[in-house]
A = this chain, B = another copy of it.
């Protein structure tokens, strides 16, 4: 089953090496600043090999963005309904760990930087990243509303508020100041506060849920 010919295997490995090297160079140098020579050198591959695999620089860039985005977001799971405050808490940390990782931030910076010159890439990222994620949060929030735990009219706005309250501040700062990254204590500060504000504004039983949140935070 898993027996690929040595040829195909080598090819696969080389393609992966090129993609990885290209992602690194593009993220660190930007699209214009990245040279095909630099990518070839980092991938330990000759330049014509890259052109044979991916065509032009622009096509290579497109391939990078697709594979990079998928790799980073596929590992992410949406919360499954359980005890709400605990769900929200673990979701928030799961999301924070993904979004605040150096690789993810570098990719986001690259997408933002090239959004004007490659509009389709920005759109594709928004659709398959934030939008898909938002949909997952919305579904969860709607479930909890049906169970009588939350109160809101517009699920999309509620989901966006949750996102914004938890990660807007540290992410924006990290986008502007890559070094040093906010540490876990900083993120925890925003995260705990954000969840508290969300519950005060959206919970059907704020005092209960805030007490739960305090317990969870104290236990962590």
Enumerate chain A interface residues (CB-CB to B < 8 A).
28-33, 106, 109-117, 119, 122-123, 125-126, 130, 154, 157, 160-161, 163-165, 168-169, 172-173, 175-179, 189-190, 193-194, 197, 200-202
Contact = CB atoms under 8 A, between A and B. Distances in A.
A47 B43 CA distance: 37
B30 A179 contact: no
Given A164-B168, A197-B201, A201-B201, A178 B115 contact: yes
A115 B122 contact: no
A111 B113 CA distance: 9
A112 B113 contact: yes
Contacts of A109: 112-113, 115-116
A161 B197 contact: yes
A111 B176 contact: yes
| Copies of this chain assembled into the complex | 2
Given A31-B33, A126-B177, A112 B112 contact: yes
Contact of A175 (B112, B117, B161, B194): B112
Q: For the complex of A and B, list the 10 residue pairs with the smallest distance between their C-beta atoms, beginning with the closest.
A: A113-B113, A32-B33, A164-B168, A32-B32, A168-B168, A164-B164, A200-B201, A197-B201, A122-B176, A160-B169
Interface centre among A30, A154, A164, A173 (most CB of B within 10 A): A164
Contact of A200 (B119, B160, B189, B200): B200
B28 A178 contact: no
Given A30-B114, A32-B32, A163-B169, 7 more contacts: A28-B116, A32-B33, A113-B113, A123-B176, A125-B176, A130-B173, A160-B190
Contacts of A29: 32
B32 A173 contact: no
A201 to B, nearest CB: 4
Given A109-B115, A176-B122, A30 B28 contact: no
Contacts of A119: 177-179
Given A189-B157, A194-B161, A177 B30 contact: no
